[in-house]
Each structure stands twice: as C-alpha cells, then as structure tokens.
Structure 1
Amino acid sequence: MSRAQRIDTHQHLVPPRYAKWMGEKGIRPGGIDLPSWSPSAALKFMDGHGIAVGILSLSTPGVYFGDVPEARRWAREVNEYAAEVVADRPDRFGFFATLTLPDVEGALAEAEYALDTLHADGIVLLANNDGRYLGDPGFEPLLQFLHERQATVFVHPGELPGPEVPGIPTFTADFLLDTTRTAISLILSGSMEKYPGIKFILAHAGGFVPSISYRILLTMLNTKNKAQQAWALLDQKHQVPKQLSVLRKFYYDIALSASPSALPSLLEVASPDHITYGSDFPFAPAVAVGFLNKTFERYPLDAGLRAAIDRGNSENLFPRLKG
C-alpha cells in the first residue's frame, strides 16, 4: 500500500469565524494557541505526508458554553462550513459533524440534519460534555439514534472537569485521561452492548485504555461482583479474559501515538481491523507528524496490517472512499 493512500480519521478544521469566536473568548484548546488552518494548507500538509483523504472534525472545546441557542447556531455554521469544504474536494476530504451535547434535543436535530442533508461521514463527540461522560443515562436518546443510523462516531478528548495543573498543558496527559474515562463510562453503562451499531473511534490510541486494560477489567468485575471466578474464563482465540473483548469493539486511531512504547499496547488490545491512521493536524505540527510517521513506518508490522491501518480499515468505515 502506497503511503499516498492514507485515510486520516483524526484531522481537524478551524473555520475562520469559529477561530475569531474562540479568540474573543480567550480560549486556548488543550493549553496551546489555536493553530492557523485553511483547506489549501491542509491539502499541502496531506500531499507532504502521504494522506489521500482527511476526515475533518472540530476539536475541543466544541460549541457548547452553557448557552443552548448559541451552541445550536454554531454547530450548524461549523457543519455547513465543513460540508462546503468537502463539496469542493470530495476526493480529498470528509467530515465528522459537530453536535451540541449536553443539549440532547439539539444534538439529535443536528445529527439528523448533518447526516441526511449535509451527508456527513460521521459524528464527532467530545469525551465529556459539561462534565458528563458518554455513558451518562441522559445521553441514551442520542446513542440510540446513532445506533439505528449505524453511525461512525469519533470520540475526541476535551478539558477534564477539574482544575488544570499549572505549567502542564492539558493535551499532555489530561486529554488521554478524558478519553479513557469516557471509554470506561460506555463500558460500565452497558452502552457498548446496547448500541452495537455505533462504531466508536477513540482518539490517540484510546488514551490510557490499552495500558490499563486489566485495571478496567478489575473495575468491571468489581461492579458485577464476579472477581473470584472470571480470571479463569479466557477468550480462547485471544487468550485474554472474555470481559476484555469489549475493548476490541472500539476503533482506535494512532494520532500522536505511533511510538515504540504505545504501539505494542495498542496492538495487544485492539482488533487489527479496528485501527486507523490519524495525524491530529493542525494541532500537531507537520514536523511532529512527519517524525511519528517515520516511527510508524519503521515499526515491524505485517504488510497487510500496515495497509489496513493506513487505509483499508477506514475504507470499511467509509465505503464511499473505496477505490
């Protein structure tokens, strides 16, 4: 598989009016300045890093700041802007639609509009929304809708619902914990069983999920009070406790995670057909993406698995990109 065939499921857009709005609010997402972005800059980056298609999404902090009408207006504007970018170059771009959580009514309306009218490739959800994680019972109507639509949902981290540590940007570790928390929330709430039609892509190799998989297992067993018996029940195919098979239902992108330390944990936990390529451009600068790409390319992988991560697994998620 040629490097030029990559499908990037973790690439962001920064609409000009949204950037101005964030500036007026004094927001630095992840503790860093909002990067400059344009479709032409994205295409130049993609051409230089072997990326054929970028699935664009709005990053944290999204559009909800306590004002429901405001959030609904901005979600619509961001999604229509993204749809225009895709319409100009459908061969190079797709997009995940932004919703209005924790405003569930607005989220349902915007999801339907984005999928049916704007033909979004999927939905992006922040890991926590005003401090509420995705397994929250109040979000079930949206999960039910997304399940019925067999939607692909990109889960992106945001600011933790707690104070920052002075001097440490929140993207360094807080983002990874945020993703981990929402994955556990989806598992413990039963959402992964109740809504199997949703294809959840966890950003950044699932945060800490792969490396703490057995701690997640302990939590699951303690919740069900079955700790004494379950350790002996192995999935014979994968030789891990059967309860951990839920982790293989998630998809994971490798954005900022293609390191010699992170990849082995991810490959141990994830299903080989549930790993996608991700860059995190423009929040990850091009030089960092290039370094991580080279690290990924040097990592000893079967050629078929490498091709699946670069493109094949994403083609299965987004059939319109096949070919």
Structure 2
Amino acid sequence: MPGKIDVHQHLLPPRYFEAMAAAGSKAMGAGAPGDAQAATGGSAQWDPWGESGGTAPRRGPRAIGGWLMPEWSPEAAIAMMDEVGIETGMLSISAPGVHFGDDAAACQLARELNDYQAELVRERPDRFGHFAVLPLPDFDGAVAEAVRALDELHADGVLLLSNAHGRYLGDPAYEPLWAELAARSAVVFVHPTAPPITQLPGMPTALLDFPFDTTRTAVDLVAHGVFDRYPELRVILSHAGGFLPYAASRFSAAAMFNPDTTPERIQAGLRKFYFDTALSASPTSLPSLLAFAEPGHVLYGSDFPYAHPDWTARFDHDLGAYDGPGAERLGEVHRAAAEQLFPRLASESVPRRQ
C-alpha cells in the first residue's frame, strides 16, 4: 500500500548553510549565528539532533528567532520517511529564504538550491518532490526564477514565505508573479517567516509568531482579490493555516475596509486554501480545521527536520486517533488529497525503486 505524501518537509543542503553563515545577522533575523547547542530526544537512526538520544549538538547557525538549524541529508530524510510511513516528501527551503540583502546573490542562491532540489527529484522521483524557492523581495528575479523552475526544472510548485521583508501576499508588487503562477495553474506552498515586529522575550518567532503571520498573509491575499483574479491558483497554508480556520468568520469584516469585495467573497476566498497538518493535528485544532476546509483540502505534513521527532509522533498519534467532527474525512489526508494536487504522485504513475 502506498505511503503518505508529506507536503511540508524541508531541506538544508551545505550550500544553504554556507550562504546563511556568510550573511550573518542579515540572514538570522532576531537570532545571530551561534554555536551548536545540545538538545534532547529523538531517534538514533535518523535523529538530526544528534545520536544516542539527542545529546549531541545540533548544527549552528541559528535561524530566525533563535531557532537552531538541524542537520539534514537526503539519506536522513529517507530514513525518517521509512520509519514513519511516508513515501514522498515535498521539499522546500524554510525561513528565512534566500534574500539576505543583495538581489543578485539571492537570485544565484535560488538557482543553485532549485537545481539541487530538481536533481534530488530526478534521482528519486518516488521519494521527493520540491517547491522552488524564489529570491523575494526581488520581484523581477522571482518571476524569472519561478518560470525557469516550473518550465525547465519541472518543480512541483513554488514556495512563498508569508512576507518578503514586510511585504505580504496581497501587495500589488506580487501581481506579475501571481499572473505567471496562475498561467501554469501552479501549486503555491506558503510557509511562515518572521513578521516585522519585535520578538517577545523567551518566545522564539517560529513558536509564537509564525501562525499569526500565516493568518495575516492569507487574509491579505484574499481581501485584495488575488483568488478573484487568479482562480487557477492552488495555495497550501502551513500548520493548518495558523488561526485562519478558527477565526475565519471574523475576517469577513475585512470587506468593510476593502470596497472591491464583500464578506461573502472573502469567505469563499478563504475556503479556497489548502492546509497541511504539520505540528497542528491536535484534538482541539482538528474540529475547526475539518469544519472549515473544503473536502480534499487537508494534507499531511511533518515539518522534518525542524520538528522534534517527539512532536511529530504526538501529532501523528492525535491525527490517527481523532474521532471527532469531520473524522470521516481523514482517510484522504495522508495521500489522496495530495494526489489531486500532484498527479505525478498518483500511485500507478510513480516509478519506484526497490
């Protein structure tokens, strides 16, 4: 029986570490480059936190908000997937992306990382897919790289961070990019990044602010009519959409401040999103998510390798054990819903290496 399709899985190849280390604090946001620190927990077979129960250091430098960046390799990713029943992982670069202040350097780094991802997929199309990273906020460069990645590298979609140095997805500057993506009926994976606000002491941005920023950019996108102009887009929101399913009715009031739309159109737009379950499949979040999301719009996600294995195991357990409202729809989450977005992964069409 085919395994799960994981739409929320990250990669951290050596070239990305090199670029972030060279950029220093420009890349790290609130967290500066630092020494690796010990962590706890994990499986010795594929543990990115270190061997023998996670006592070895994770890899520096620090990422946005002080979150330590884990080790990663294709072999570790496949070992993890084999252990937890994932057949294919859709790879993406996480926050902070590739733009550390210089447009040309960002474009070059995006090209290198997208070429690397495409080669992984060519070698193991059964185990990997990829969302192309773009050099935003260089919008011209982002359009060019999106076209190249989709048309030449055959990327499965593109990654957009929730904001590009403070510019959210409803910003008019994104319009040429949306047009090119819609012309290809592209899948867009939206991942949160640090918002342009002060981080609270003791609260890493990834822990607290990421869900808020996902919600913020989703409402901004819909309120400014992106789905009205480009209905062909398929957009996945990370982490169950932040707080969107829980508070969607409240956001209809955005029509009061955007005269070109209505509360009904905003609600319809919000329901066009797809949602992954990464770090979000809890007994309290699943009822709202399943009540709000359209059928076929909830997808499995792990957030490997950033998510601690213990966290992933707990959320996977809660997803499997859930028997509340909407539970009858969970059968499509692990694979069938993703096959509709990524037809090449349909079980009868993917070449599999034994």
Q: TM-score, normalised by structure 2?
A: 0.83
1:54 touches 1:92 (CA, 8 Å); kept in 2? yes
Q: Does 1:38 align with 2:62?
A: no
Paired residue type of 2:342? F
The within-5 A match list for 1:202-221 is: 202-221=237-256
Q: Which runs of 5+ in 2 are unaligned?
A: 25-32, 34-61, 348-354
1:128 touches 1:157 (CA, 8 Å); kept in 2? yes
Q: Does 1:316 align with 2:351?
A: no
Cα separation, partners in 2 of 1:308 and 1:72, compared to 1, 3 Å: same
Cα distance in 2, alignment partners of residues 243 and 132 from structure 1:
20
Q: Which runs of 5+ in 1 are unaligned?
A: 231-240
Cα separation, partners in 2 of 1:91 and 1:212, compared to 1, 3 Å: same
Residue 10 of structure 2 is matched in structure 1 by: 12
1:30 touches 1:158 (CA, 8 Å); kept in 2? no
Q: Which one of the candidate residues 125, 131, 148 is aligned to 2:160?
A: 125
Residue 61 of structure 1 is matched in structure 2 by: 96
Cα distance in 1, alignment partners of residues 148 and 254 from structure 2:
38
Paired residue type of 1:8? D
Distance apart, 1:22 and its partner CA: 1.9
Give the secondary-structure state (helix, strand or coil) at the position aligned to 1:210: helix
Distance apart, 1:293 and its partner CA: 0.4
Kindly tell me the number of residue pairs found equivalent between the two proteins.
309
Shifted more, 15-24 versus 262-271: the winner is: 15-24
Q: TM-score, normalised by structure 1?
A: 0.91
Cα distance in 1, alignment partners of residues 127 and 261 from structure 2:
49
1:176 touches 1:206 (CA, 8 Å); kept in 2? yes
Residue 291 of structure 2 is matched in structure 1 by: 268
Cα distance in 2, alignment partners of residues 120 and 31 from structure 1:
30
Paired residue type of 1:192? F
Cα separation, partners in 2 of 1:310 and 1:162, compared to 1, 3 Å: same
Distance apart, 1:268 and its partner CA: 1.5
Distance apart, 1:225 and its partner CA: 10
C-alpha RMSD of the superposition: 1.8
Cα distance in 2, alignment partners of residues 223 and 107 from structure 1:
27
Give the secondary-structure state (helix, strand or coil) at the position aligned to 1:287: helix
The within-5 A match list for 1:119-268 is: 119-224=154-259, 243-268=266-291
Paired residue type of 1:286? P
Residue 313 of structure 2 is matched in structure 1 by: 290
Paired residue type of 2:98? V
Distance apart, 1:127 and its partner CA: 0.7
2:9 touches 2:301 (CA, 8 Å); kept in 1? yes
Distance apart, 1:242 and its partner CA: 6.5
Residue 300 of structure 1 is matched in structure 2 by: 323
Give the secondary-structure state (helix, strand or coil) at the position aligned to 2:206: coil
Distance apart, 1:224 and its partner CA: 3.8
For residues 115-148 of structure 1, give each alpha carbon's deviation from its aligned partner in whole angstroms, at most 9, with x where no partner exists.
Answer: 1111110000001001000110011000011011
Shifted more, 89-98 versus 296-305: the winner is: 296-305
